[in-house]
Chains A and B, each alone.
Chain A
Amino acid sequence: MKTKISIPRFHKLALAIWARNFRVWRRLMGPMLMLHIGEPMIYLVGLGLGLGLFIGEMGEMSYLTFLASGFIASSTMMAVSMEGMYSVYTRMVTQQTYAGIMNTPVKIDDIVLGENIWCGTKGVLTSGAILLVAAIFGAVESPMSLIAIPIGFLVGITFAGLAMSISAISPGYEFFNYYFTLVITPMFMLSGVFFPISTLPEWLQSFVVILPLFHAVELIRPFVVGEIPQGWILNISVLLFYAAIGHFIAVNLIRRRLII
């Protein structure tokens, strides 16, 4: 008998998993912030200030603002993808944390949902931190940019389920290189973080518009300069679609891996 594919349950026990992760995060905050904020900060200084001198304006805003608003989305994607792959894999396989939790009334569905909500929270923390860095460099043009912080939650859960699905089928940490090199990095380069996608050949554009990061950037960037994004309903719908599909696949794959 194989484990059956079914819709994940939503139960408040998921919050216990969230609380566990939050407690760990509080302890390891320093190195985490270094990775997820320090790195984009260096890019922002190098590319935004350095390259920005030659570029000047892009998409009717300073290149620094253009880049910073893109980084809010891409850094959230990076932070959450690492969480969903490395950290989840560590808890699932290396440390056997889930094996201990599964002996309690908490189900795999709750574990994955808790991880997902945690990834959303990490999205909020990351977007907030990048926004702060951007503000310090004078790249933020409107208080409306604060909306990027709650959007961070949505962007977080968008990439969480996908990353956890990869984790569920991974034989080891090295496997994550495939996802990073084949999915995350191309998405990072092509989704309008560094330049508007209108500069891409048309065939490539029609591919980019189905990528979640593109919609995350489209949703966040206008707020940073005080505008409401034109296609916000579409953007949010696409992100929710990836979040839902990702969660469904992650729950079923992790069930298949752990219930034997």
Chain B
Amino acid sequence: MGPNGAGKTTVIKMILGLSPIDSGSLEVLGFEIPKDATTAREKIGVVPQIDNLDPEFTVEENLRIYGSYFNLKKDFLEEQIPKLLKFAELENKKDLRIQKLSGGMLRRLTIARSMVHNPELIILDEPTTGLDPQVRHALWDRLFELKNSGKTLLLTTHYMDEAQRLCDEIVIMDRGEILDRDSPRELIRKHIDGDVVEIRGANGSELEKEIDRLDIRTEKFQDQILCYTNSPLELMKFSSKYSDFSFIQRPANLEDVFLKLTGRELKE
């Protein structure tokens, strides 16, 4: 996880041996990169950020042609294709040109394509960006299925819910640096203990002074004060006294961690 410009896609390209490594060393599935990158790619499946399915071909041809780039045995490929069509729920669409597919179908086909050679590691670069919620949930089911079947998934995302749901371990990075890595639960526990109370409209008021007197960490924005605390009740009790302001109490989440680590300024 990381904001735009964090270097997520660059790391993926380095893993595949498609971007030069300035310093350090990189080993993927026991292969030294970039020296053995071509061999490593036989065991890696990639779902790119932008669909680059072959527009000249049908759904099934896309799988078959992509399989040919892995130099697969014909029998193996013929066995794989029906399985992948089923996985992508595109059995009825297999003879359609891909221009006829919806965004969700294209993504499913791209994921199926990345598995044509039965890879050990599947890399997904922002797999659900730009998709509607129904489609995202359906894709997450697919990814869970893969994870449960024993594949290693490496995915980049800036959707917190996606990371929280799918990942055993999260690496938060920015400007090419790893800021922290841990399980979602640990990250939250480590960086933001307890609850968050969001108060709107209180800046410059008497309430702000009362909050400042409490020994809790706060963040102040133009129109909002965020309070991080283990005892939210001592803040919520102000809500009856200062009923003009809006109070929201919620558990800390990954987004709080992300913003704390990578900062709130716009990344463009």
Within 1-21 of B, Cβ neighbours of A (below 8 Å) are at 13, 16, 18-21
Q: Does A95 contact B (CB under 8 A)?
A: yes
Please state if B54 and A100 are interface contacts (CB–CB under 8 Å).
yes
Q: Which residues of B contact A20 (CB under 8 A)?
A: 54, 65, 68
Q: Does B231 contact A (CB under 8 A)?
A: no
Stretch at the interface among B44-52, B131-139, B171-179, B189-197: B44-52
Q: Does A205 contact B (CB under 8 A)?
A: no
Known: A23-B61, A105-B42, A105-B70. A100 touches B19 (CB 8 A): no
Please state if B50 and A96 are interface contacts (CB–CB under 8 Å).
yes
Q: Which residues of A contact B20 (CB under 8 A)?
A: 1-3, 259
Q: Does A170 contact B (CB under 8 A)?
A: no
- 23 A-B residue contacts at CB 8 Å? A1-B20, A1-B21, A3-B20, A12-B71, A20-B65, A23-B56, A24-B56, A24-B57, A96-B52, A99-B48, A100-B48, A102-B16, A104-B69, A104-B70, A105-B38, A105-B39, A105-B41, A106-B69, A107-B38, A258-B18, A259-B18, A259-B19, A260-B19
Please state if A105 and B52 are interface contacts (CB–CB under 8 Å).
no
Q: Report the Cα distance A12→B71, complex, angstroms.
A: 9
Q: Does B115 contact A (CB under 8 A)?
A: no
Please state if A103 and B41 are interface contacts (CB–CB under 8 Å).
yes
Contact of B69 (CB < 8 Å), options: A16, A99, A258, A260: A16
Please state if A23 and B71 are interface contacts (CB–CB under 8 Å).
no
Please state if A100 and B38 are interface contacts (CB–CB under 8 Å).
no
Known: A13-B71, A20-B68. A95 touches B61 (CB 8 A): no
A8 nearest CB across to chain B (Å):
14
A201 nearest CB across to chain B (Å):
47
Q: Does B66 contact A (CB under 8 A)?
A: yes
Q: Does B53 contact A (CB under 8 A)?
A: yes
B126 nearest CB across to chain A (Å):
15
Q: Which residues of B contact A106 (CB under 8 A)?
A: 69
Q: Which residues of A contact B50 (CB under 8 A)?
A: 96
Q: Which residues of A contact B150 (CB under 8 A)?
A: none
Q: Report the Cα distance A88→B65, complex, angstroms.
A: 17
Contact of A16 (CB < 8 Å), options: B21, B22, B38, B68: B68
Contact of B18 (CB < 8 Å), options: A27, A96, A97, A102: A102
Q: Report the Cα distance A108→B205, complex, angstroms.
A: 64
Within 138-154 of B, Cβ neighbours of A (below 8 Å) are at none
- The 7 A-B pairs at the shortest CB distance, nearest first, are namely A104-B69, A96-B52, A103-B46, A100-B52, A1-B20, A16-B68, A24-B56
CB-based nearest A residue for B116: A104
State how many residues of chain A have any CB contact under 8 Å with chain B.
26
Please state if A97 and B46 are interface contacts (CB–CB under 8 Å).
no
Contact of B52 (CB < 8 Å), options: A2, A99, A258: A99
Please state if B56 and A103 are interface contacts (CB–CB under 8 Å).
no
A-to-B contact residues, CB < 8 Å: 1-3, 12-13, 16, 19-20, 23-24, 27, 95-97, 99-107, 258-260
Q: Report the Cα distance A96→B38, complex, angstroms.
A: 20
Q: Does B55 contact A (CB under 8 A)?
A: yes
Q: Which residues of B contact A260 (CB under 8 A)?
A: 13, 19
Q: Report the Cα distance A171→B19, complex, angstroms.
A: 21
Q: Which residues of B contact A105 (CB under 8 A)?
A: 38-39, 41-42, 69-71
Q: Report the Cα distance A16→B38, complex, angstroms.
A: 16
CB-based nearest B residue for A24: B56
Please state if B65 and A103 are interface contacts (CB–CB under 8 Å).
no
Within 55-105 of B, Cβ neighbours of A (below 8 Å) are at 55-57, 61, 65-66, 68-71
Please state if A101 and B69 are interface contacts (CB–CB under 8 Å).
yes
Q: Which residues of A contact B41 (CB under 8 A)?
A: 103-105
Please state if A103 and B48 are interface contacts (CB–CB under 8 Å).
yes
Q: Which residues of B contact A27 (CB under 8 A)?
A: 56
Please state if A16 and B55 are interface contacts (CB–CB under 8 Å).
no
Of B19, B56, B57, B66, chain A has the most CB atoms within 10 Å of the CB of B56
Q: Report the Cα distance A213→B19, complex, angstroms.
A: 38
CB-based nearest A residue for B68: A16
Please state if A1 and B61 are interface contacts (CB–CB under 8 Å).
no
Q: Report the Cα distance A65→B19, complex, angstroms.
A: 53
CB-based nearest B residue for A91: B54
Known: A20-B54, A27-B56. A104 touches B66 (CB 8 A): yes
Q: Which residues of A contact B68 (CB under 8 A)?
A: 16, 19-20
Q: Report the Cα distance A24→B48, complex, angstroms.
A: 23
CB-based nearest B residue for A110: B69
Q: Report the Cα distance A136→B113, complex, angstroms.
A: 47
Q: Report the Cα distance A100→B65, complex, angstroms.
A: 11
Q: Report the Cα distance A100→B47, complex, angstroms.
A: 9
Q: Report the Cα distance A17→B66, complex, angstroms.
A: 10
CB-based nearest B residue for A95: B55
Q: Which residues of A contact B66 (CB under 8 A)?
A: 100, 104
B160 nearest CB across to chain A (Å):
27
